Amino acid sequence: MSQMKFEIPEIELMKSGHVACPGCGASMAMRYALKALGPKTMVVIPACCWAIIDGPNPCSVNGVPVFHCAFETAAITATGIKAGLKRQGKDDISVLAWAGDGGTFDIGLQAISGAAERNEDIIYVCYDNEAYMNTGIQRSSATPWGAWTTTTPVKNPKERPKKDIVDILLAHHIPYVATASVAYPDDFIRKMQKAKSIRGMKFIHVLSPCPPGWKSQAEESVHISRLAVHSNVFPLYEVDDGYRYTISIQPKKVPVRDYLKYQGRFKHLSEEQIELIQQAADRKWDILMKKVEMGELFMQN
């Protein structure tokens, strides 16, 4: 990757006074997203922690119009807003659907699939804290294998791997899909700005540490996010036009154990179980590298 200096925009749309827990990855993510998109933005928020974080009626910390919608409707409500704006000749406003993993991987999957298939001109960000946090840490299909939640207790932790949402979105042939991390704000902001410049459906998947849900320390959130990237648990990459894969941050290949150890939700795991997670992360990376190669091959031809 070519070296370039990247400045984080000074504009601060998200004001202080939000009601997220200390160390909430989701609140950091919104701050960066709004820095990237600027004031010509409207945000759609379904049921999730962010429905609370923004502040009670009539308060709002976001500094841009916010529409709260039902749990499963972020993608389609954003679509409706975009259609309304288009008919008023305000097509230059970015409409950002901002949903949790539950609202994206589970209950909202139908609506996001519909919007992606139609290639609606919206930016969809899923801040993924890997469980239903707002209702008190229940498992979602984004909860990783082996993790504790209140519905996957230590005696019977999550038995199935995390759903691959990026692949699901890619299967819809949309122009831009990326992963992002609050540990790399410059990368995240660049991706949001890129998303803003592209017509059609954009999907950005941000890992969002959640101290109460992950049983981690608030001050470790950014560190944990960085370890997720470098252990290949959550690699940072982007996919243009459905096939051009680019790795955004080269992982340092730290053992997954280093990532897991900061989080009480994995405390019960045995050595063998940690080894299985390691193998899954390695495999995921290998598959990703094959996709990068395949994309390069297509570009050559």
Ligand X SMILES: Cc1ncc(C[n+]2csc(CCOP(=O)(O)OP(=O)(O)O)c2C)c(N)n1
Task: List residues near ligand X by CB under 6 A.
Answer: 47-49, 71, 99-103, 129, 131-135, 140
176-181 and 237-240 strand pairing: antiparallel
CA distance 145 to 296: 32
Residue 46 found at the interface with ligand SF4 (CB under 6 A): no
HEC letters along the chain: CCCCCCCCCCCCCCCCCCCCCCCCHHHHHHHHHHHHHCCCEEEEECCCHHHHHCCCCCCCCCCCCEEECCCCCHHHHHHHHHHHHHHCCCCCCEEEEEEEHHHHHHCCHHHHHHHHHCCCCCEEEEEECCCECCCCCECCCCCCCCCCECCECCCCCCCCCCCCHHHHHHCCCCCEEEEEECCCHHHHHHHHHHHHHCCCCEEEEEECCCHHHHCCCHHHHHHHHHHHHHCCCCCCEEEECCCEEEECCCCCCCCHHHHHCCCHHHCCCCHHHHHHHHHHHHHHHHHHHHHHHHHHHHHHC
Select from 27, 61, 96, 101 the one that contacts Mg ion (CB under 5 A).
101
Print the binding letters for residues 55-84 with other proteins: x by CB under 8 A, - otherwise.
xxxxxx-xxxxxxxxx-xx--xxxxxxxxx
Residue list 53-112, contact with ligand SF4 (CB under 6 A): 53
What the block records as the tokens of 186 is 């410059």
- From 112-120, 124-132, 177-185, 274-282, span contacting Mg ion (CB under 5 A): 124-132
Closest distance between ligand X and the C-beta of residue 137, in Å? 8
CB nearer to ligand SF4: pick between 23 and 295 = 23
Residue list 79-138, contact with other proteins (CB under 8 A): 79-88, 90, 93, 110-111, 113-114, 117-118
CB nearer to ligand SF4: pick between 165 and 210 = 210
Select from 23, 25, 46, 100 the one that contacts Mg ion (CB under 5 A).
100
Count residues binding ligand SF4 (CB under 6 A): 12
Q: Which does 210 bind (CB under 5 to 8 A by kind): Mg ion, ligand SF4, other proteins, none?
A: ligand SF4
Residue list 11-40, contact with other proteins (CB under 8 A): 39-40
Q: Which does 135 bind (CB under 5 to 8 A by kind): ligand X, other proteins, ligand SF4, none?
A: ligand X
Closest distance between ligand SF4 and the C-beta of residue 211, in Å? 5
- From 79-87, 114-122, 153-161, 209-217, span contacting ligand SF4 (CB under 6 A): 209-217
* 92 phi and psi angles, rounded to 5 deg: -85, 0
The Cα diameter of the chain in Å comes to 59
Residues near other proteins, by CB under 8 A: 39-42, 44, 51-52, 54-60, 62-70, 72-73, 76-88, 90, 93, 110-111, 113-114, 117-118
Residues near Mg ion, by CB under 5 A: 100-101, 129, 133
Residues near ligand SF4, by CB under 6 A: 20-21, 24, 26, 49, 53, 129, 133, 210-213
